[in-house]
């Protein structure tokens, strides 16, 4: 019975992994390029579960086997291990958001260089690209340009709204936030985790993250409108 219980858990977990991998739900947990690995893991788990069931079905029953002793019964509480798997099947947790950002310092990465921006305004940029150009290029590549940046709202010191995005190296466990302050025509009443598409220009204003003292650049907002959460909520 113990092997059968293990097989059921493997089967449930394999089905959950495949269900997640074949939808965009997996993007809440890992980088986009890891989908083939998730599919492979799901298939292996299901095959292992099927092999276990086959082995148990084909195994001859031992002769003269004594009845199970009272002290050796399998604890029913062990079936609670299936609860997290069933929870993932029924209700997928949301992507990380403002709660995570509020508890980690901004982690702007300095790139090897700053390619010329595409022609036409507003030019779409990621939160990380805008922040890196504003901090490490001192806004030179942003001069005279209008940019469009999408992220979710988080509240800085004193309840000041900021735009943020989380970056992944591999999975949600190593997520690091990038924060951009907002000034100018910032809508009132912004709530954490609300997604915004912000249009604006480079601002020379800068502050330090109170958590790790990392620089937080600002964006001079000319327009901000709510948008749905994107297919991939993280930046690479």
Whether the CB-CB separation of 188 and 209 falls below 8 Å is answered with no
| Domain boundaries 99-226, corresponding CATH code | 2.40.50
pTM: 0.78
Closest-CA residue to 129 (of 161, 167, 183): 167
Whether the CB-CB separation of 161 and 230 falls below 8 Å is answered with no
User: What was the pLDDT predicted at 195?
Assistant: 97
What are the tens digits of pLDDT across the range 65-124? 555 555 555 556 556 666 766 766 677 778 899 999 999 999 998 899 999 999 999 999
Give the confidence band of 218 by pLDDT, cuts at 50, 70, 90: very high
| Tokens of residue 157, six digits | 């010191």
The span from the CA of 229 to the CA of 218, in Å, is 22
> Could you tell me the residue ranges of all domains in the chain?
2-64+71-93, 99-226
The HSE-up count of residue 233 (CA atoms within 13 Å, CB side) is 27
Mean pLDDT lowest among 64-73, 157-166, 208-217: 64-73
Whether the CB-CB separation of 224 and 196 falls below 8 Å is answered with yes
Mean pLDDT lowest among 39-48, 89-98, 192-201: 89-98
């Amino acid at each position: 019975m113990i092997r059968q219980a293990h097989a059921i858990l493997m089967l449930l977990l394999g089905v959950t992994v495949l269900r997640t991998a074949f939808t965009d739900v997996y993007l809440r947990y890992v980088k986009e390029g890891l989908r083939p690995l998730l599919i492979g893991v799901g298939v292996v788990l299901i095959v292992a579960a099927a092999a276990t069931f086959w082995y148990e079905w084909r195994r001859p029953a031992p002769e003269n086997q004594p009845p199970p002793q009272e002290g050796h019964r399998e604890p029913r509480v062990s079936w609670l291990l299936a609860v997290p798997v069933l929870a993932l099947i029924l209700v997928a947790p949301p992507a990380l958001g403002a709660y995570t950002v509020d508890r980690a310092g901004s982690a702007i990465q300095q790139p090897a260089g700053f390619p010329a921006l595409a022609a036409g305004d507003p030019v779409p940029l990621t939160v990380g690209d805008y922040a890196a150009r504003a901090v490490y290029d001192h806004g030179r590549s942003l001069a005279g340009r209008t940019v469009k940046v999408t992220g979710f709202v988080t509240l800085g010191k004193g309840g000041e709204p900021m735009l943020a995005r989380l970056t992944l190296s591999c999975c949600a466990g190593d997520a690091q936030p990038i924060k951009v302050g907002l000034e100018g025509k910032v809508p009132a009443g912004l709530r954490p985790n609300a997604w915004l598409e912000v249009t604006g220009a480079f601002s020379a204003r800068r502050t330090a993250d109170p958590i790790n003292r990392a620089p937080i650049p600002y964006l001079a907002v000319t327009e901000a409108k709510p948008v749905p959460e994107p297919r991939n909520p993280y930046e690479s």
